[in-house]
Homo-oligomer: A and B are copies of this chain.
Amino acid sequence: MPLPIRIRANADETRTRILEKAEELFRRLGFAKTAVADIAAELGMSPANVYRFFASKNALVEAICEQHLARIHAELMRIARANDPVVDRLERFALSIIRYHKANFLTERRLHDIVLVAMEHSWESITQHKEALATLIESILRSGVDSGEVGPAVDPRQAARIILGCLTRFCHPMVIQQHVDDDLEAEAQATIRFLGRALQ
């Protein structure tokens, strides 16, 4: 029997509040130093209540990771569907990923641990996310085949996966972390313009 709507809404709210508080504490104290008991205490609830929603600290990281991936995906989908030239959309696609990283992960050294934990425990979500990114790039290329911007010799499916691989330097959290001082946005723009030549 499904739960009455009001109880389910409360459960969703509680889940969201736990996730927000967990992310806040991971950012403030670091992943290793944050206990589930700390998260519960700050929310004025029992640890048992947190565990009703998330079986472990790793499960919290997975849920936070999935939330971030969903946000990035929503933004990239808007870019892919816009009515702009192919190369412009690819450029905005790459810049949007770099800026998301800068805004959310690069400012805090502490977050690096969480990214590592997420990469270890949410590998399936990350693999699905990469597949979703490849599919979005593929849709950009297909619209370019229709408009004549992408040459007939290009296989949109294969080219999309190659382009995503070429953007590893700008998308992979560990790699970006090592290059915070580089002008990644300018490099990404030059890379997209270069790749655009291969699409003709």
A contacts, CB < 8 Å to B = 119, 158-159, 162, 165-166, 168-169, 172, 174-175, 178, 187, 190-191, 194-198, 200
In the assembled complex, the Cα of A187 lies from the Cα of B169 at a distance in Å of: 16
CB distance from A191 to the nearest CB of B (A): 5
By a CB distance below 8 angstroms, the chain B residues around A169 are 165-166, 168
A197 touches B194 (CB 8 A): no
Number of copies: 2
CB distance from A26 to the nearest CB of B (A): 21
CB distance from A190 to the nearest CB of B (A): 6
* Most chain B beta carbons < 10 A, residue from A165, A169, A172, A196: A165
A175 touches B168 (CB 8 A): yes
* Contact for A198 among B168, B175, B197, CB less than 8 A: B197
By a CB distance below 8 angstroms, the chain B residues around A175 are 168, 172, 174-175
Could you list 13 further interchain pairs (A-B, Cβ under 8 angstroms) beyond the known A168-B168, A174-B174? A119-B178, A158-B190, A162-B190, A165-B169, A165-B187, A165-B191, A166-B166, A166-B191, A166-B195, A168-B175, A175-B175, A196-B198, A197-B198
